[in-house]
């Protein structure tokens, strides 16, 4: 049979070979076209070369020539060499470069393919076989280590005798958990030690409670339960997405009472969430802010803010609203603002409670308009609900009170997260966002944005500014202060320094003296990219803390990822088409890669600090975003209309009042996975004496995000913070896979995990009831994060000894 005759009948004579040749040709054409595009953008020429070699392989297969295997062997060997040169022996970075080519090589070696080829088949099979063996060796070596892993151990002296001899840490949670962060210091540390690294593996579910509060048809996509419960006495206090408050028996999880504020379900809300409640107990002989005796009713109070802009005070024992507070137990937080559109001002985080003053912030709708409610911070009499002071960051006189002729400043920086307080110093530490709209600042004056994306220290009784620290100047990237700061007393030979640790979306952790804002860890100003959009401006420098999880180098197209070489190629093209010059690359009509993205390397979960061991536990994450300015036009009108209703933080945001809208999105491949190579989430320990990272590991698998439940430990994004205990155990639940995990605080080794019934995008807490230590997690899932929704509150404990 002549070669021409064979080629005429190849589908009939060798259908598998024919199909293989066609598939290889399609692959080659895709890589050729995409590779040429990438090369024209200044990227790697590998894909162009690979496309040509695949087309040559396809042609030789169609001709039934054994040289096809030689060409393919050369392609496989060249791919290995190129991949190692680009990313080293990192398995997850190597995987998409070979996860299609290597299996295809094995397929070509099979008898029903290879036996159809001639001449000199034996040598060609040996060549391809050796290339496949070499690829297997490379994969095997890459699996033996992780270049993103940092192995280390906290010195034993820091975890044994030093604790016993040290004075008790101030404001630490113990038998009770009295505030969102364990205490007013926001450390997420408990002095309980019944659960240890040796017995944590024995934890069992002690009780489970279901709130019954589920997403309704009129709720926004961003529905979550991010609550960290409180425990006082024999009761646990928690809340659900619609701000329904539940009091549960600490030992059994049985419902004692619940309170429903009847929050309206509304798709126009950007959020429907609850991060927790606050607790206040009247001390004997207590006085109000006016100096009069405190009322006798509601001696213990629970405070709950709502998504429709109200604040309730409830009797902690019965759940009945406190009649003497505001208007029969509630105050309207929208008062004082000119704009009072429902859902534009939302109470999503618990307020700060002090002896006399209730300090309240709130979330203001993002990127919708410059005509939105004020983000004013306010202090209310904790007993009567009377407004005592205000700090309106966008006002030249931030302490100006509202009146018949004055409203709070529209769009001024808000505090949607959780604050911390040191009552001994008389200071409350408030993390602020940026002025509205977030991504274009041409209309902001230096005066009204001086506190944008800053941490402000206010006098508890007067609201007067003591000091401030701005983490981003002229913020155009939504890099607000997202986390509750943590207050720590640092011990050294020179004595004790009262410090504050401020995690930022940028990945920096700023460390300041909390008395005066003096830097304890340097954060020098460094030059950043320039070239603002028309009508805007940029700061020439930004602060860069020397304690940071921000990647030190620039991203390159070699770090782009995918599940295969094809979507990886798409990500590399996408990367090259975007504007990217490093951190703080300004927004553009071209489209700007924002990394770290406005999702934040740190979010509202914050860090956990063990003041006894003098360490901090952090869980940074790395997800780039794309920010593209959209000029005004038919699809982006200058005035509100039905085409752009509020209710989402992704997609086209109208930014009414600015010359642009903005299209915001996560930097994803065509298959919907991050374009940046993993890890996307880590857990780490920081030595507070040296401010160096001691250990750092990937955390979380793709089990609940992949089409198949694959337990691949890539290190995944998370929402929610860590909990650390005196027993030497770290707990965390916020990963995108539905697990609660426990780690050894000394070296980060995972000790235990348990499957959760829904996403655990919250921060766990711990308490003692009846001599038994419990660990509690709220598992409600997260709508826009993509985890399974639920309504669970679950408590773990060690089993009873027989």
The span from the CA of 129 to the CA of 694, in Å, is 43
- The helix/strand/coil state of 657 is coil
The Cα–Cα gap between 643 and 662 comes to 15
615-618 sheet: strands from edge to edge:
608-610, 615-618, 682-687, 692-698
Pairing between β-strand 387-391 and β-strand 377-381 as defined by DSSP bridges: antiparallel
Token output for 186: 């926001």
Residue position matching structure tokens 């406005």: 598
Q: Count Cβ atoms within 10 A of the Cβ of residue 461 and give its class: 0-12 exposed, 13-18 middle, 19 or more buried.
A: middle
**Quick count: other Cβ atoms within 10 Å of Cβ 494?**
7
Collapsing DSSP states into helix, strand and coil, what is residue 661?
Answer: strand
The dihedral through the CA atoms of 192, 185, 361, 759 has a sign that is: negative
Q: Where are the alpha helices (DSSP H) in 88-209?
A: 91-98, 101-109, 111-114, 121-142, 161-165
Q: Where in 411-549 does DSSP place strands (E)? A: 420-422, 427-431, 454-459, 465-470, 486-492, 495-503, 509-513, 525-527, 541-543
Chain centroid to Cα 127, Å, comes to: 47
- Of 515, 422, 505, give the one whose Cα is nearest residue 471: 505
Q: Would you state the torsion angle of the CA atoms of residues 439, 444, 448, 450, taken in this order, to the nearest 10 degrees? A: 60
Taking Cα atoms as reference points, which of 328, 311, 233 lies closest to residue 277?
311
The closest alpha carbon to 183, from 215, 225, 228, belongs to 228
Residue 332 CA to residue 100 CA, distance in Å, equals: 59
Q: 778 - beta bridge partners? A: 793
User: End-to-end CA distance of the chain, in Å?
Assistant: 83
Per annotation, catalytic residue among 438, 478, 704, 768: 478
Residue 750, classed as helix, strand or coil, is strand
Three-class secondary structure of residue 692 per DSSP = strand
Question: In sequence order, what E strands does 233-277 have?
Answer: 235-239, 245-249, 255-259
Reply yes or no on whether 13 is catalytic: no
Angle CA 543–547–548, to nearest 5: 75
Q: What distance in Å separates the CA atoms of residue 62 and residue 16, rounded to the nearest whole number?
A: 11
| Rounded Cα distance, 25 and 117, in Å | 17
Residues 6+ apart with CB under 8 A from 123: 66, 70
Distance between CA atoms of residues 44 and 57, nearest Å: 21
Locus of tokens 């137990």: 329
Contact criterion met (CB below 8 Å) for 229 and 778 = yes
Please say whether the beta carbons of 244 and 281 come within 8 A: no
Of 726, 603, 587, 717, the C-alpha closest to 663 is 587
Structure tokens at 492: 């050294």
DSSP state of 25: H
State the DSSP code for 158: G
Side-chain half-sphere exposure of 715, counting CA atoms within 13 A: 22
743 close to 729: Cβ distance less than 8 angstroms: yes
The torsion angles phi and psi of 792, rounded to 5 degrees, stand at: -100, 140
Cα distance between residue 322 and residue 71, in whole Å:
80
- Helix (H) or strand (E) run with residue 360 in it: strand 357-360
Q: Which residues are catalytic, by number?
A: 478
């Amino acid at each position: 049979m002549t070669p021409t005759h064979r080629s005429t009948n190849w589908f009939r004579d060798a259908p598998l070979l024919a199909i293989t040749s066609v598939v290889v040709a399609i692959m080659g054409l895709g890589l050729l076209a995409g590779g040429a595009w990438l090369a024209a953008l200044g990227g790697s020429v590998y894909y162009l070369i690979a496309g040509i070699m695949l087309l040559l392989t396809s042609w030789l297969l169609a001709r039934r020539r054994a040289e096809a295997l030689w060409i393919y062997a050369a392609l496989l060997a060249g791919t290995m060499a190129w991949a190692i040169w680009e990313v080293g022996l990192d398995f997850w970075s190597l995987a998409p470069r070979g996860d299609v080519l290597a299996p295809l090589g094995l397929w070509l070696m099979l008898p029903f393919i290879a036996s159809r080829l001639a001449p000199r088949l034996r040598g060609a099979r040996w060549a391809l076989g050796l290339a496949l063996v070499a690829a297997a060796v490379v994969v095997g070596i890459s699996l033996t280590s992780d270049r993103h892993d940092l192995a280390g151990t906290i010195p034993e002296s820091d975890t044994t005798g030093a604790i016993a001899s040290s004075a008790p840490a101030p404001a630490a949670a113990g038998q009770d958990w009295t505030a969102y962060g364990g205490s007013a210091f926001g450390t997420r540390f408990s002095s309980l030690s019944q659960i240890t690294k040796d017995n944590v593996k024995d934890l069992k579910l002690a009780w489970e409670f279901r709130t019954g509060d589920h997403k309704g048809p009129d709720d926004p996509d961003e529905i979550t339960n991010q609550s960290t419960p409180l425990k006082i006495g024999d009761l646990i206090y928690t809340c659900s997405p619609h701000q329904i408050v539940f009091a549960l028996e600490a030992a059994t999880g049985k419902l004692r009472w619940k309170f429903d504020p009847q929050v309206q379900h509304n798709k126009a809300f950007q959020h429907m969430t609850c991060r927790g409640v606050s607790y206040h107990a009247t001390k004997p002989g207590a006085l109000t802010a006016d100096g009069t005796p405190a009322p006798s009713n509601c001696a213990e109070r629970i405070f709950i803010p709502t998504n429709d802009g109200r604040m309730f005070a409830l009797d902690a024992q019965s759940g009945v609203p406190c009649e003497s507070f505001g208007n029969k137990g509630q105050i309207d937080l929208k008062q004082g603002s000119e704009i009072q559109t429902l859902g534009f001002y939302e109470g999503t985080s618990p307020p700060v409670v002090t002896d006399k003053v209730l300090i309240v912030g709130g979330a203001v709708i993002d990127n919708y308009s410059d005509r939105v409610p004020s983000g004013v911070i306010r202090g209310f009499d904790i007993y009567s609900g009377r407004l005592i002071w205000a700090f309106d960051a966008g006002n030249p006189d931030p302490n100006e009170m509202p009146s018949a002729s004055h409203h709070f400043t529209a769009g001024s920086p808000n505090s949607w997260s959780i604050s911390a307080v040191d009552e001994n110093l008389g200071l409350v530490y408030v993390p602020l966002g940026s002025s509205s709209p977030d991504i274009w600042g041409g209309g902001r004056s230096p005066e009204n944005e001086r506190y944008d994306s800053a941490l402000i220290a206010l006098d508890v009784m007067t609201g007067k500014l003591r000091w401030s620290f701005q983490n981003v100047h002229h913020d155009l990237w939504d890099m607000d202060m997202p986390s509750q700061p943590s207050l720590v007393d640092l011990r050294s030979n020179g004595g004790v320094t009262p410090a504050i640790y401020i995690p930022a979306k940028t990945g920096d952790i700023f460390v300041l003296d909390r008395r005066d804002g003096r830097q304890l860890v340097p954060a020098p100003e460094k030059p950043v990219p320039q070239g603002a959009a028309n009508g805007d401006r940029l700061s020439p420098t930004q602060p860069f803390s020397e304690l940071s999880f921000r990647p030190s180098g620039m991203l390159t197209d070699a770090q782009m990822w995918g599940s295969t070489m094809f979507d990886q190629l798409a990500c590399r093209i996408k990367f090259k088409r975007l504007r990217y010059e490093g951190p703080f690359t300004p927004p553009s009509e071209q489209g700007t890669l924002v990394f770290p993205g406005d999702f934040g390397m740190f979010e509202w979960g914050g860090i956990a600090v063990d003041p006894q061991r003098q360490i901090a536990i952090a869980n940074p994450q790395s997800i780039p975003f794309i920010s593209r300015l959209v000029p005004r036009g038919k699809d982006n009108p200058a005035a509100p209309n039905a085409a752009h209703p509020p209710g989402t933080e992704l997609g086209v945001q109208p930014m009414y009042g600015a010359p642009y809208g903005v299209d915001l999105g996560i930097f994803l491949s065509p298959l919907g996975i991050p374009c940046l190579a993993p890890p996307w989430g880590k857990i780490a320990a920081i030595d507070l004496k040296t401010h160096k990272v001691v250990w750092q590991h990937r955390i979380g698998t793709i089990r609940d995000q992949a089409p198949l439940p694959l337990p691949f430990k890539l290190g995944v994004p998370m929402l929610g913070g860590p909990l650390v205990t005196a027993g030497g155990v770290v707990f965390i639940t916020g990963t995108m896979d539905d697990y609660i995990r426990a780690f050894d605080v000394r070296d980060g080794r995972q000790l235990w995990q348990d499957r959760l019934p829904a996403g655990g995008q919250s921060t766990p807490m711990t308490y003692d009831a009846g001599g038994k230590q419990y660990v509690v997690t709220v598992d409600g899932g997260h709508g826009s994060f993509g985890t399974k929704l639920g309504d669970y509150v679950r408590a773990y404990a060690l089993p009873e000894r027989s």
